[in-house]
Structure 1
Amino acid sequence: MDFTLSTRGETFRSRIQDFVEQELLPLEEQASSYDEHENISEDMLQAMRQKAKAQGLWSLQTPCELGGQGLSTVEMAACYEAMNRSIFGPVVFNSAAPDDGNMMVLSKVATEAQKERWLKPIVNGDVRSSFVMTEPAPGSGSDPSMMLTNAVRKGNDWVVNGVKHFITGAGVASHFILIARTSDDTRKGLSAFLFHKDDPGWEIVRRIPIMGPEEHGGHCELRFTDMVIPDENRLMEVGDGLKLTQIRLGPARLTHCMRWLGLAKRSLEIASAYVSERESFGIKLADREGVQWMLGEAAMNIQVGRLLTMHAAWKLDQGDFARKEVSMAKVAVSNTLQQAVDTAIQLCGARGYSKDTRLEWIYRYARQARLVDGASEVHKMVLSKNLLKEGGDFWSWG
């Protein structure tokens, strides 16, 4: 792997860095910039999105012919990290979850007609989207084989019944990708469907309160009652729901890592500025050996996370599924984010614990990282299975 970023990638990264510095960081200091769920307010978001579009910094992950910038996964890694120096960054550039993962999977598997109807409005920023998979117990969580929501074929339609929960962004989404059971086959028992917010037969039961802060649209519980979806809105073939999920979740897990690295670096940036100025018992905190150990360890772990993320991104760009590499990055970077922001709060003391900095926001947000898109323990199980199967080849350079 060549660690030199392409000229195009570096140009985009530098321009995003400038946009974040000049446009977004100042907004974080203004109370009027926030909505009731502690994210960027809708009015401010739309204004910033127009600026990002005007500067050609829009939908980096989407192919050019569909209205995006067509960046490679490696180029995305550098740019996503730069944009999430701000807590407002990803959504401004139309590169936030779940939209970015939905755009990437639809660009790969949707028919041309489906791309025109369902994908392009997301790419354009006209609508937002959601991925509807997770269910309350005893339904599917990390184990999709436990899915209870079912879709039954009725002529040219499918009739859906079931309950989903923790569906990110559902409160504001217009376009939804739904995974439902269509047979009892262990590998081909799930199928994927598209539906619109105005389609009858479903409802948002509640917006589930979380530790927060929340993405736009929250994390919702949905109920489907005899919802009718025409077969033309089925994605891929009947029974390909698990395959679609795997196509989507690998890259989407990695884009989480890219963004989390930006937040981890921002945390150390805040802490470094504070300890460089703050004196205690006649000496600056930055000159104390214990403080240096804390900063050095956190910085080292961030770099380890960046290398794992870049390696997985590079393998994806080579056409590899990079399942081991993505899992390793997901586990390591989720831990690194929490360690980095916890270290920053400790070094900033009461100021870090207060809302005078963005650290407490990042700290609460960081706790979900070890849960979303597969809990860390599940990814470790995947890695263990690969190790036992491959032996020494687990670490192959190939």
Structure 2
Amino acid sequence: MYKLMQRDGVSARALAIADRVEAFVRETVAPYERDPRCGAHGPSDALADELKDLARKAGVITPHILEDGGHLTQRETAAVLIRSGLSPLGPLACHTCAPDEGNMFLLGKVASPELKNRFLTRMVDGSMRTAFFMTEPAEDGGAGSDPSMMQTTCKMDGNHWVVNGRKAFITGADGAGMGIIMAKSEDGACMFLVDLPDPAVRIERVLDTIDSSMPGGHAVITIDNLRVPADQMLGESGEGFKYAQIRLAPARLSHCMRWLGACIRAHEIASDYANRRMAFGKPLIDHEGVGFMLAENLMDLKQAELMIYWCADVLDSGAQGGAESSMAKVAVSEALMRVADRCVQCMGGQGVTADTIVEQVFREIRAFRIYDGPTEVHKWSLAKKIKRDWKAENAA
């Protein structure tokens, strides 16, 4: 078994939470992994509700948010979320999954007391799923990796904002009770908290995607004359991109945490298989072609772990951590892709079946290399930073 984790700088309280989460995910959640309610567009809401009820009874629902409303540090959150990811269903059960985890973080930082009371309470207790409406269809020339291309508009009409546009790849929109919708006003980008379902927010279709771990899947949405009360704007008009940055850097890192947990579990399964399966007179692990792949997994897992904790420390220092979260997202997603691929390869035919979670983890990690910014976009952003820094250092 791969030995978790960095423990320096993590409080005894957070380590105790992390240990409870790990025990719950391994013992209670993992047996649900082959439940027929896990479909192509994610686990059903009935399964999600059942798992969350079990998490409440075990005292591990939304474990990174404390009873007094406080939030664990990012380093402490890493210790918890990595363990919640030990099953693809773990983040769902513990309510540490995207997009809810990032949305809770954002509201905790930006929302007014009234909006927190109305929405955040139900988010934290796991009684309501949410969605984040930012990405737009490519065929419309809308926002994707470049949010400045946003086409969705919002205009004041009396004491309401009227929102129109289309969105795409909106995770969990089908079945969500609240959405954070981004649109542009004359001032710039804005964010709104919207009760769902709403007849003005129509799901065109739920996309068939390579991944299948998130309830509601990823939807294409039409927003047609949606009227939002002015007091449901998050923060101020024109400040939406600033608020998005508050959410996106920690959310990128949370993805890394959860998927590290999934790849640790996949590595455990592949290692067990390689030690039990005989071929050509000896266990697979004794064949260098297999044993070396598992050894390389250990190195990639450890490097991913260290990158996560390094970036967590940057965020805990109070820095925005945009560049650091980009580096972590690229390094971790690429390392975990190698791990997941080797796990499939080590298990041969068994690795491409749904008999274990290894095949699903491979699919999920492949999608992760695109979600929250493709590898290439993050590299491009870092290259721009290198150029800016060089110019600053060489200014006359």
Structure 1 Cα separation of the partners of residues 16 and 7 of structure 2: 17
TM, length-normalised to structure 2: 0.93
Structure 1 range deviating more: 383-392 or 108-117: 383-392
Aligned-pair identity in percent equals 38
More deviation, 356-365/57-66? 57-66
Q: Would the alpha carbon gap of residues 375 and 230 (structure 1) be closer, same or farther in structure 2, given more than 3 Å must change?
A: same
Q: After the TM superposition, which residues 45-124 of structure 1 pair with which residues of structure 2 at under 5 Å, given as runs?
A: 45-66=48-69, 70-124=71-125
Give 1:147 deviation, angstroms: 0.5
Amino acid across the alignment from 1:93:
C
Equivalent runs, 1:259-270 vs 2, <5 Å: 259-270=258-269
Amino acid across the alignment from 1:193: F
Secondary structure of residue in 1 paired with 2:39: coil
Deviation at 1:31, TM superposition (A): 3.7
C-alpha distance in 1, partners of 2:210/2:133?
21
Counterpart-to-counterpart distance in 2, 1:2 and 1:362? 26
Tell me, yes or no, if the aligned pair for 2:24 and 2:58 is still in contact at 8 Å.
no
When the two structures are aligned, how many residues end up with a matched partner? Answer: 386
Higher relative contact order (CA 8 A, sep 6+): 2
Distance 1:93 1:285 in 2: 35
Other-structure match for 1:144 = 147
Alignment of 1:170 with 2:173, yes or no, is yes
| 1:324 and 2:329 matched | no
Amino acid at match of 1:341: A
The 2-side partners of 1:152 and 1:128 are apart by 27
Q: Does 1:9 align with 2:17?
A: no
- CA deviations on 1:82-110 (whole Å, 9 max, x unpaired) are 11111110010111000000000001100
| TM, length-normalised to structure 1 | 0.92
Deviation at 1:36, TM superposition (A): 2.9
Aligned counterparts of 1:152 and 1:305: Cα–Cα separation in 2: 44
> After superposition, what is the alpha-carbon deviation per residue over 1:274-317, rounded to whole angstroms, capped at 9, x for unaligned?
11111211122112223222111121111111111111111111
SS at match of 2:68: helix
Q: Which runs of 5+ in 1 are unaligned?
A: none
* Structure 1 counterpart of 2:3: none
Asked if the contact 2:307/2:328 (under 8 Å) is kept, the reply is yes
Distance 1:375 1:203 in 2: 27
Equivalences for residues 1-398 of structure 1 within 5 A: 3-28=8-33, 30-32=34-36, 34-37=37-40, 39-66=42-69, 70-137=71-138, 138-183=141-186, 189-391=188-390
Task: Give a deviation string over 1:111-167, Cα, whole Å, max 9, x none.
Answer: 000001121111122211000010012010011110011001122211111111110
Q: 1:296 to 1:204 in 2, by over 3 A?
A: same
Q: What is the DSSP-based 3-state SS (H/G/I as helix, E as strand, rest coil) of the residue aligned with 2:209?
A: coil
Amino acid in the other structure paired with 2:128:
V
The CA distance in 2 between the partners of 1:26 and 1:131, in whole Å, is: 30
1:196 aligned partner, one-letter code: D
Equivalent-residue separation in structure 1 for 2:266 and 2:247 (angstroms): 29
User: CA contact under 8 A between 1:60 and 1:70: conserved in structure 2?
Assistant: no
For the aligned residues, what is the CA RMSD? Answer: 2.0
Between the aligned partners of 2:172 and 2:35, the Cα distance in structure 1 is 23
* Inter-CA distance 143–300: structure 2 relative to 1 (3 Å threshold): same
Distance 1:350 1:369 in 2: 24
> What is the rounded CA distance, in whole Å, between the counterparts of 2:182 and 2:84 in structure 1?
30
AA aligned to 1:289 is E
Query: 1:105 corresponds to which letter in structure 2?
Result: L
Please tell me whether the aligned partners of residues 308 and 325 of structure 1 are also in contact (alpha carbons under 8 angstroms): no
Given that 2:29 and 2:93 are in contact with CA atoms closer than 8 Å, whether structure 1 keeps it comes out as: no
The SS at the match of 1:195 is strand
